């Protein structure tokens, strides 16, 4: 028995090479310590958070406390996130965790708000989704920039987000918001015509046309195949779009592509006379179809 205790003690000390959990908790929650010391201590406490409720409550308190330095609060948040991976141990305190995150979602610090809303959005938290949508509809209430709100709403897309996304596409506050609105709309089957138009618009940014190709592949794959074919046959098309077309047809093309002699001939020509990137993609395409 004595031997067993000794073995356990040895492994416990080995797994915490720096200091004991108690000592780390003590530093993490001590406002007289430096920010650097507390951030380092908070990185060590996830096990302790899972082991004792009082430790969890102490770290939640640090996160909630607006008088604490932002970096210390962010370190507390990261520590809680790491602890939350240990589901069985963390489950009993999950309610307190989510409750605290909601409380902090409207914090005065933008980074804390954004990080917390991100966690809640990934949990498909209705409260966070409501706040994000409200911020898009009424920018004066926005807790995060429009592009971030759209990105976070895409973790659990609801139809009520589509109208505002469409309105942002037509009148975007910035390029990133337009892009994220398009990504969100890629889940909306009725948006296929929007993506067709953007895909074929040579004045659009390559990134927007790539997003449109991807959206169309999901919403109307036969449409993308047709457009990709046309864009490959179009000698005035940009390299990046030709490469995206080749990649789409290599990954998702089928029998019809394999039998398309005009297309094969064109890609064979691209393999010989094009930029390195196009040549490489043309080779992959022809390998796929046994040419």
- In this complex, which beta carbon is closest to another protein, that of residue 21 or of residue 263? 21
**Contact flag: residue 113 with another protein (CB under 8 A):** no
**Torsion sign across C-alpha atoms 6, 8, 11, 15:** negative
Among residues 2 and 14, whose Cβ is nearest to another protein?
14
Burial class of residue 123, CB neighbours in 10 A (0-12, 13-18, 19+)? middle
240 near another protein, judged by CB under 8 A: yes
Helix ranges (H only) for 16-109 are 21-28, 35-43, 46-51, 53-64, 70-84, 87-90, 94-104
Which residues neighbour 187 within 8 Å (Cβ) at sequence distance 6 or greater? 154, 157
Residues in contact with 177: Cβ distance below 8 Å, sequence separation at least 6, in sequence order: 145, 146, 147, 150, 168
Cα–Cα distance, 207 to 277 (Å, whole number): 16
- For the CB of residue 120, give the shortest distance to another protein in the complex, in Å: 10
Q: Decide: helix, strand or coil at residue 187.
A: coil
Could you tell me the smallest distance in angstroms from the CB atom of residue 113 to another protein?
12
Nearer to another protein, 6 or 261 (CB): 6
| Given 19, 86, 98, 233, the residue binding another protein (CB under 8 A) | 86
Interacting residues with another protein between 257 and 286 (CB under 8 A): 277, 280-281, 284
Task: Report if residue 172 touches another protein, rule: CB under 8 A.
Answer: no
Q: Can you tell me which of 164, 248, 263, 270 binds another protein, judged by CB under 8 A?
A: 248
Of 19, 33, 43, 69, the one binding another protein (CB under 8 A) is 43
**14 binds another protein, rule: CB under 8 A:** yes
Query: Residue 2, interface with another protein (CB under 8 A)?
Result: no
Q: Which of 29, 84, 100, 129 binds another protein (CB under 8 A)?
A: 84
To the nearest 10 degrees (0 to 180), the angle between helices 53-64 and 94-104 is 10
Of residues 205-234, which lie at the interface with another protein (CB under 8 A)? Answer: 206-207, 210-211, 213-215, 217-218
**Residue 6 within binding range of another protein, rule CB under 8 A:** no
Q: Is 290 left (phi over 0), alpha (psi -120 to 50) or beta?
A: left
**Rounded to the nearest whole angstrom, what is the least distance from the CB of residue 40 to another protein in the complex?**
8
């Amino acid at each position: 028995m004595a031997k067993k205790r000794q073995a356990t003690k040895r492994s416990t000390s080995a797994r915490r090479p720096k200091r004991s959990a108690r000592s780390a908790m003590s530093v993490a929650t001590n406002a007289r310590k430096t920010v650097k010391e507390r951030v380092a201590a908070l990185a060590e406490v996830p096990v302790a958070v899972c082991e004792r409720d009082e430790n969890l409550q102490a770290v939640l308190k640090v996160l909630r406390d607006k008088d604490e330095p932002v970096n210390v609060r962010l370190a507390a948040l990261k520590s809680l996130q790491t602890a939350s991976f240990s589901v069985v141990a963390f489950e009993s305190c999950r309610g307190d965790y989510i409750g605290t995150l909601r409380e902090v979602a409207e914090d005065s610090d933008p980074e804390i708000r954004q990080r917390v809303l991100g966690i809640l959005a990934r949990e498909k938290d209705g409260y966070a989704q409501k706040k994000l949508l409200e911020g898009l509809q009424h920018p004066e209430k926005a807790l995060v920039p429009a592009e971030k709100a759209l990105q976070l709403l895409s973790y659990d897309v609801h139809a009520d987000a589509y109208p505002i996304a469409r309105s942002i596409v037509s009148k975007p506050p910035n390029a990133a918001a337009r892009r994220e609105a398009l990504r969100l709309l890629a889940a909306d089957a009725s948006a296929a015509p929007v993506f067709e138009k953007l895909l074929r618009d040579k004045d659009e940014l390559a990134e927007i046309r790539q997003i449109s190709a991807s959206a169309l592949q999901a919403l109307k794959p036969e449409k993308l195949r047709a457009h990709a074919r046309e864009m490959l046959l179009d000698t005035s098309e940009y390299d990046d779009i030709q490469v995206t077309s080749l990649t789409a047809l290599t990954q998702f093309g089928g029998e019809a592509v394999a039998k398309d002699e005009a297309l094969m001939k064109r890609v064979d020509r691209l393999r010989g006379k094009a930029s390195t990137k196009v040549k490489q993609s043309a080779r992959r395409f022809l390998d796929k179809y046994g040419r």
